[in-house]
Amino acid sequence: MQEWNNAVKKTARRAMQQERDCFYKVIFGSCEEMIELSDESVHLMVTSPPYFNAPFDYQNVFPDYESYLRLIRNFARETFRVLQKGRIAVVNCDDMLVRGEKYPIVADVTRIFLDAGFRYRDKIIWKKPEGYIRISRRSGLVLQHPYPMYFYPDNLQESILIFQKGKYKYPPANRESMIDKEEYLRQKWFLSVWEMTNQLPTGKEGYPAAFPPELPYRIIKLFSNVGEIVLDPFLGSGTTMLVACENKRSCIGYEIDPSLRPIIEAKVSPNAVAGNLTEFLSR
């Protein structure tokens, strides 16, 4: 009994130390060159790049599709450099309809990451509630013109692409990082379709297209250990950093819009362990 109590205390002390050692760093600059990070210095990358010229959210941000793909290529190359061997890179993205033309972003992102050196590990479909269709109800064309060739489906899904840098060498089990099996089964994480409610851009953050905290939460729990470093190259309003903080992981984020600092700070700093306040750096 005494040995058991000592083991429990030791585990608790180790968890507290890991929590105290966590840090949160926001770098205001482009992730196309992550010069602040050394090679193989992070354990997990999870992000959602800007949607290519999406109506309402990112309209006319990129002059053309090739400019967008150039950003993705540079980000993929740098992610491969800074990620440790065997570890996971996760990209939330979707094909985009812009002015009547559909862009195959999922296919192009997949090819770019493979060309950067990653292995293709898996794809999860993020299914949104049926009541959420922000861009258009294109399926209504069939009701107006009930004839062939008028069909365009309403989009209720996005892709969560999972890549891996080589093969992972499994270390001894870390009990502090154990996945809750009841949650895993109850929320059906084991399926290739995840049903999650998206975060509307009209919320209190006022930031477009923020993905739901549930998405990085699942990825962080499934692919990182307590005390490890999570990278989000398109940090936005700081959702990934908040989730990493709540789950005793360190986090580094890149963001090109410095006006988001108050939003990130308000979101993350109150949840950080005392003494581990968010550090902001500008180039």
Contacts of 222 (CB under 8 A, 6+ apart): 179, 189
Q: Would 11 be classed as within a structural domain?
A: no
| Overall size of the chain counted in residues | 283
Supply the pTM of this predicted model.
0.88
d(CA 21, CA 221): 18
Q: pLDDT, tens digit, for every residue of 142-154?
A: 888 999 998 888 8
Q: Would 178 be classed as within a structural domain?
A: no
> By the 8 A CB rule, do 244 and 268 touch?
no
d(CA 89, CA 46): 6
Separation of first and last alpha carbons in the chain: 55
149: left (phi over 0), alpha (psi -120 to 50) or beta: left
Phi, psi (degrees; rounded to nearest 5) at 160: -115, 100
> By the 8 A CB rule, do 234 and 47 touch?
yes
Q: In which domain, by residue range, is 265 found?
A: 19-169+184-282
Q: Would 175 be classed as within a structural domain?
A: no
Q: pLDDT, tens digit, for every residue of 190-202?
A: 999 999 987 765 4
**CATH code, domain carrying 238:** 3.40.50.150
pLDDT above 60 for 11: no
Q: Would 174 be classed as within a structural domain?
A: no
What does the pLDDT average to over 79-84?
98
d(CA 193, CA 235): 24
The count of other CB atoms within 10 Å of the CB of residue 87 is: 19
Q: How much of the chain, in percent, has pLDDT values that exceed 90? A: 63
What does the pLDDT average to over 200-209?
55
Q: Would 29 be classed as within a structural domain?
A: yes
Q: Would 221 be classed as within a structural domain?
A: yes
36: left (phi over 0), alpha (psi -120 to 50) or beta: alpha
Q: Would 33 be classed as within a structural domain?
A: yes
Q: Would 177 be classed as within a structural domain?
A: no
Q: pLDDT, tens digit, for every residue of 104-121?
A: 999 999 999 999 999 999
pLDDT above 80 for 6: no
Domain count, the chain: 1
